Amino acid sequence: MGIGTGSVSLGDIQTEYGGSNPIGLSEYYGKGNAPASGEIQLWADFQGTSSGTHTLLATVTASASGSLSFTSGIDSTYDVYEFRFENMHPATFGARLAFQMDGGSGYATAMTTTNYLVEQAESDSETYFGYRTGRDQHDGTGYQPISGNIATNSDDAASGILIIFGPSSTTYVKHFMSNANVSGNGFSDNNHVAGYFNTTSALTRISFAMSSGNIDAGQIKMYGIGT
């Protein structure tokens, strides 16, 4: 996640870059701004640096937004991209958070997906576990729902994680999987969605939108994992 710009301790460096106890500074040659050999300086060499293995690339925040998009930063730098969405609140009752990707010809890339739901009521009167038809796609080009129906009560929202594997590959189709939970009208809905974009072209942009109406509020962070 990166070392801050304040004081730097050996523990901060170990947390960011790993390493075994007892800590030996030579383990960190070549990490951060440290040289490959010779003298290491804690502040000069590590302050504000990141291991690059779980790197925050961009943050977008909704405010009565029709959609939220990341139009740069998805490239071959990382094998895996992770999107963490928090408290996505719709303007329209029952809307679902959805996403699509694009390689340059519009957000209409064909995908085949699965979608299942695990649900429990606050009243403990109703549970559900099963596949959700109508929320999956078979070579469809629409936005893929990754949450259940979100209510518009002031405390209702959806949060979760979407992971995209190898979006820059020009050999393989692009696999993804998400897990999101929704609180709404007295239910907890846990949606498991996965699938693949059926293209061997690189995908470079991603868009999030509600299935109906605006994204009233919420935040999405894009991370790159694994260099």
Residue 87: strand, helix, or coil: strand
Q: Considering only residues 151, 194, 215, 222, which one is a binding residue for other proteins as defined by CB under 8 A?
A: 194
Q: How many distinct helices (H) and strands (E) make up the chain?
A: 2, 12
The residue among 156, 66, 148 whose CA lies nearest residue 107 is 66
Residue 19 sits in the site that holds other proteins (CB under 8 A):
yes
Q: How far is the CB of 102 from other proteins (least distance, A)?
A: 19
Q: How many CA atoms lie within 13 A of 40 on its CB side?
A: 21
* Edge-first strand listing for the sheet containing 80-90: 54-65, 215-225, 80-90, 157-165, 174-184, 187-197, 111-121, 127-131
C-alpha 150/C-alpha 17 separation (Å) is 39
Residues 6+ apart with CB under 8 A from 24: none
**CB atoms inside a 10 Å sphere around CB 226:** 13
Q: Considering only residues 102, 136, 156, 216, which one is a binding residue for other proteins as defined by CB under 8 A?
A: 136
> What would the x/- binding string for other proteins be over residues 197 to 216, using CB under 8 A?
-x-x----------------
* Residues in a beta bridge with 83: 162, 222
Q: What is the size of the binding site for other proteins (CB under 8 A)?
A: 45
Residue 196 sits in the site that holds other proteins (CB under 8 A):
yes
Residue 16 sits in the site that holds other proteins (CB under 8 A):
yes
19/73 with CB nearer other proteins: 19
Residue 147 sits in the site that holds other proteins (CB under 8 A):
no
Interface positions, 160-189, toward other proteins (CB under 8 A): 163, 165-166, 169, 171-173, 175-177
Residue 158 sits in the site that holds other proteins (CB under 8 A):
no
Residue 64 sits in the site that holds other proteins (CB under 8 A):
no
Q: Considering only residues 125, 130, 154, 155, which one is a binding residue for other proteins as defined by CB under 8 A?
A: 130
CA-based angle 67:78:167, to the nearest 5? 55
Residue 124 sits in the site that holds other proteins (CB under 8 A):
no
29/129 with CB nearer other proteins: 129
C-alpha 82/C-alpha 223 separation (Å) is 5
- Interface residue list for other proteins (CB under 8 A): 1, 15-21, 51-54, 79-80, 112-116, 129-131, 133, 136, 138-139, 163, 165-166, 169, 171-173, 175-177, 192, 194-196, 198, 200, 225-227
